[in-house]
Structure formats: C-alpha cells, structure tokens
Amino acid sequence: MIKDNLPVAVIGAGPIGLAAAAHLSKRKIPFLVLEAGSQIAHNVRDWGHVSMFSPWEYNLDRASVKILSTYNWKKPLDRAIPTGAELVENYLLPLSETDEIKPHVRLNSKVIAISRRRINKIKNYSRERAPFVLRVETNYSLEIIHARAIIDASGTWHNPNPSGADGLPAIGEHALNDEIFYGIPDILGKARKKYKNKDVAVIGSGHSAINTLLELSDLKQRSKDVTTSWILTKAKVEDAYGGLDDDELPGRGKVGMRIKELVESKQIIVHTPFFVEEFGEVRGKIAIKGQYETAGVVLADEVIVATGLRPELTFLQELRISLDTSLECPTKLAPLIDPNIHSCGSVDPHGEVELRHPEKDFYIVGMKSYGRAPTFLLATGYEQVRSVVAGIAGDWDEARNVNLSLPESGVCGVPKAIDPNSYENEHIETIEADHSCC
C-alpha cells in the first residue's frame, strides 16, 4: 500500500475541520472528513442558541470564503455577532454543500482508534512510511480506513470537566445523571420546561456559566419562581466579569456588563469562593456540599455544571503523541497558551511546528489542540490548519509563515499567584476552563 496515494483524514466537520478541508481542497490534496454526528457541525448545533463573542470577521476562514465566493453565497457583515446556529446556517452548512467539500464528508462516522498499518506503538522500523489505520464506527458496521496523514479537529465538546474543585467528580456526582446538565442548556428553548419554576444552581466561573445565568434570568422574567444560585471558586465575583467596557470583543464585554448588573441587583445568589466536594439530598432537593465561608451547602432542584472541557485522548493511545503534562495540549504549544499567563488575545501565532508530534503527519488542531486551556478563538484554529496543510503539502515556507491578529482584552483571566489550598486566604482563586473564548 503506497501511503502518498491515500487521502488525508480530517476528524470532525466543525468550523476547524471544514477549514482544514478547504485548505486541502485548495492544494488539491485528496481528503476525507469523518464526522461522528448525523449532521455537519454537530457540536456547534448543541450550543446554537448561544451568541458568540467575536464578530463574523474573526469567524471566517479565508480558504473557505474563497470557495464560497464562487457560489451564490452572501458574506455576513464583518461586525455582526452570530449565534452558534447562525454560524452553521450562514457559513458552515453552505460550505459543506459545495462541490469542493460535500463529496468528501462522511457523517455518522466516529473514529474509535488510530494506529499505523501493521506497526504498533513500540515499533520503529518503517514507521513513517506506514499509512495510518483508522477504525471507524458507523451506523451499520466497523470500517477500516487508511490515510497518509491525520488532522484531529474533533474538539472537546462532549468531554466536560466534572464539578469537583479538585478536578475530580464530586462524591455522588455520577449518581445524579438526570439532575445535572453539563454545558449550556437551551433554557429559553427546548429545555425551558426543565428549569421553569425550579431552584437552579450553576457551577463555573467562565462564559459558559455566565451565558447560562443570563438565560436563567430571562426565564425568571416569565417564571417568577425561578431561583438562581451561582457557585464559583474565584476570590471575588467581580473577577468573573472580564473586560466589560474595555473588551475589544463587544459581545463578550456585553455579557460581563449584564451579569454584573444581575449580581449587584441581587437577582443571582452568589457563593464564592465555594469548592464543591459532594452531592447529597436534603428535603427532596439536591444538596451541593463543599468548603465555603458560611454554611457550605447549596440546595437546588437542578444543577448545571459549566466548568469547561478536556480533550478525549483514549482513541489516540496507540500513537506517539507529545502532550504537556498540565494542559494536555501539544508540548511546544503549552507555553504560548498557558492560561496562568495568557488571555485569548495574547496568544502568539503558531502553526505546524508547534503542533507537530513525534508521530509524523499527525496533528491535533482547533479547540482540542488547546487541551484544557480555555483561551481558544476560531481565528487561531484557522491559522493552525492553514499552516498544517501547508506542511503536509511540503510547502515549508508557508507552513512556517504564521500570522495572526487577535483582539486583546485579558478577559479569559490571568489569576494571581496565590495558594489555592490556603482557605483562610481571602484572595483564593483557581482557573475554571470554559469551552472557549470565541
């Protein structure tokens, strides 16, 4: 089997996966996009009701726009801010329907394992010349697909962090599958009945949590009996507001202003710093127990956990990948995106070199490339895949020539250098990863 005659396998048909496909098409490199969901941008559709923070000008990939411009496609206004659903309907879906992309997309195709053909992880001989082997689970069977290179743009959406303050599930958390929702539920839409007239606790300090709190507030205007509690680990609730009026992403600044107003008007009950340790039951309600300066127990009917996401790595275990021990991102990328140091806009341009693994021709891109760091922007991912595809094509000048202009705000948070184990310290703060800053 000649490796160079095989396609490049792109895992995931979201914004970054489709951008990779556009760049591969531009260079006339054969490719195949494998999407686990039944529709393209399956993950984005889950948060379609949520407004993004960045306007359209930061959410469009240049190679993709070039393809779309040859069709009857109307480019959105640069400064307009889309929802997830609008991102799909006005950009990703039209892109996926083009002749350049559609024939190469396979839906309901979940990659469950990757290796090298007839070479396991410990063998060196002829490793780089061997094709990749992907085991793909479809609706009907288990298929084997061979590829010359792999671009993993599968994201992190379906692998949420648990609620426990130690990074582990709180005691009793797994027993509450029906009462705990992970992520951003469509509170004003299909999930409205679930939260109407309920006491709801939201755990998390990032923008996923804040968006959820804002929708609960809107629901409360129509359902007066809703009580909302906000549980977070920051030293002060003000630390979660972000850049406010100084934020260069206006959508993000607006969100901060709204949550600040709700907290100050006592429409949201804030518990911070609160370190979740255990779930139990008191008087028919969920009891959220932990270390807190007062009682240490919050009662609720429903719990929403929005403490961020982490990469799913189990299907990559037969590959030689190099990941940072803390962020679980490519080793060379870690110092550029470390949320202890960087915000969304202070990330340096990076591409093929920083995303390279010991396993030649294998790359993790997009949100998954950031591991547990919450500072990802779509514009960053688009430049990643442009550079990676150039490297796969052997165009090393273009692969190394990375350029990126991002808005600066510091809103993603750079925490103080303090000891999170010193509960008596009034400046306690820990990082809670959000799903992204886009």
Domain boundaries, the chain: 3-158+309-400, 173-305
Residue 363, amino acid: Y
Residue 2 has pLDDT above 90, yes or no: no
The mean pLDDT value for 279-287 works out to: 92
DSSP tag of 367: G
The mean pLDDT value for 283-289 works out to: 92
Residue 6: CB atoms within 10 A of its CB come to: 17
- The reported pLDDT for the residue numbered 178 is 79
Place of tokens 């990469």: 311
> pLDDT tens for residues 186-208?
999 999 999 988 999 999 988 88
Report residue 414's pLDDT band, with 50, 70 and 90 as the boundaries: very low
CATH of domain 3-158+309-400: 3.50.50.60
- The reported pLDDT for the residue numbered 293 is 65
Residue 168, amino acid: L
Q: Closest by alpha carbon to 377, among 401, 353, 411, 400?
A: 411
Residue 76, amino acid: P
Least reliable range by pLDDT among 25-29, 265-269, 284-288, 386-390: 265-269
- The reported pLDDT for the residue numbered 418 is 36
- The reported pLDDT for the residue numbered 422 is 43
The residues facing 362 across adjacent strands are 150
- The reported pLDDT for the residue numbered 413 is 39
Q: What are phi and psi of 154, to 5 degrees?
A: -80, -10
Measured in Å, how far apart are the chain's first and last C-alpha atoms? 41
The mean pLDDT value for 111-127 works out to: 95
Asked if 269 and 227 touch (Cβ cutoff 8 Å), the reply is yes
> pLDDT tens for residues 323-355?
999 999 999 999 998 887 755 556 778 999 999
Contact partners, residue 329, CB within 8 Å, separation at least 6? 311, 323, 337, 364, 369, 370, 371, 372, 373
- The reported pLDDT for the residue numbered 426 is 35
- The reported pLDDT for the residue numbered 69 is 96
The mean pLDDT value for 416-424 works out to: 41
Least reliable range by pLDDT among 203-207, 220-224, 377-381: 220-224
Q: Look at residue 41 and give its three-state secondary structure.
A: coil
Residue 425 has pLDDT above 50, yes or no: no
Report residue 374's pLDDT band, with 50, 70 and 90 as the boundaries: confident
The mean pLDDT value for 130-152 works out to: 96
> Model pTM?
0.89
Residue 133 has pLDDT above 50, yes or no: yes
Residue 276 has pLDDT above 80, yes or no: yes
> pLDDT tens for residues 37-88?
999 999 999 999 988 878 899 999 999 999 999 999 999 999 898 999 999 9
CATH of 173-305, one of 2.40.30.40, 3.50.50.60, 1.10.8.60, 3.40.50.300: 3.50.50.60
Q: Closest by alpha carbon to 179, among 308, 268, 288?
A: 288
Place of tokens 């000048």: 397
Measuring CA to CA, how many Å separate 312 from each of 10, 254, 291? 16, 32, 30
Report residue 435's pLDDT band, with 50, 70 and 90 as the boundaries: very low
> pLDDT tens for residues 76-118?
999 898 999 999 999 999 999 999 999 999 999 999 999 999 9
Counting every residue written for the chain, the total comes to 438
| CA contacts within 13 A on the Cβ side of 292 | 19
Record the tokens describing residue 435, joined without a space.
């799903």
How far is it, in rounded angstroms, from Cα 82 to Cα 90? 9
Report residue 417's pLDDT band, with 50, 70 and 90 as the boundaries: very low
Report residue 438's pLDDT band, with 50, 70 and 90 as the boundaries: low
Q: Do domains 3-158+309-400 and 173-305 have the same CATH topology?
A: yes
Measuring CA to CA, how many Å separate 435 from each of 56, 318, 348? 19, 27, 20
- Three-class HEC string of 185-236: CCCCCCCHHHHCCCEEEEECCCHHHHHHHHHHHHHHHHCCCCEEEEECCCCC
Average confidence score pLDDT of the chain: 87
Residue 294 has pLDDT above 70, yes or no: no
Residue 419 has pLDDT above 60, yes or no: no
> pLDDT tens for residues 171-183?
999 988 778 999 9
Residue 247 has pLDDT above 90, yes or no: no
Percent of the chain predicted with pLDDT > 90: 66
